[in-house]
Amino acid sequence: GYSKPMSTLVLGLKSAMTSSVRVIGAGIYRAISVSLSASNLSEFFPNQDKEEQGKTGRPWRASELRAKSNEDLHRLWYILLKERNMLLTVKHEARRQGEVMPSPERMRKVRKSMARIKVVLGERERAVKDIRKAERQTVLSSGNEVGYSARVTSDERT
């Protein structure tokens, strides 16, 4: 968090134009990094480069995603989200003009990759829960083996 007043932060950030401020609580602010191009609506429209239009990659494999850190998955999620939003804009514009969306398979690839990120994060969350559950059981079983009791009896109080 920051202790500076909001007006000071906003003025400083407007000059940099690379960050924004989000209010977390009373008097607590968090800097959020935003690219300069994020304020431009052109991100919702495809690049008009003809060579690039026909070339699309494959969806991410779950095995590839498992090797990535949570931070990398977070970044990739937002990249895919931007791509999905751009493709939805293209789809909407094509419908408006009575045309067929170009390269509709790109949407399927983006959705599949996003679904796989959710699967990988779900696996990690379940693994953490299982580890915590095993740790609790180990602590409880080891405490019972040596006669440990969390309750204080009247004999122990005196």
User: So what's the pLDDT on residue 61?
Assistant: 95
Instruction: At 54, list the tokens.
Output: 């026909």
In angstroms, rounded to a whole number, what is the distance separating the alpha carbons of residues 1 and 5? Answer: 11
Per-residue pLDDT of the chain (158 residues; tens, 9 = 90+): 444 443 333 333 333 333 444 444 444 544 444 455 555 666 666 766 544 555 678 999 999 999 999 999 999 999 999 999 999 999 999 999 999 998 899 999 999 999 999 999 999 999 999 999 999 988 888 765 444 445 555 554 44
- Are 21 and 10 a contacting pair, CB within 8 Å? yes
Q: Structure pTM?
A: 0.59
For residues 28, 34, 39, 40, the Cα torsion angle rounded to the nearest 10 degrees is: -170
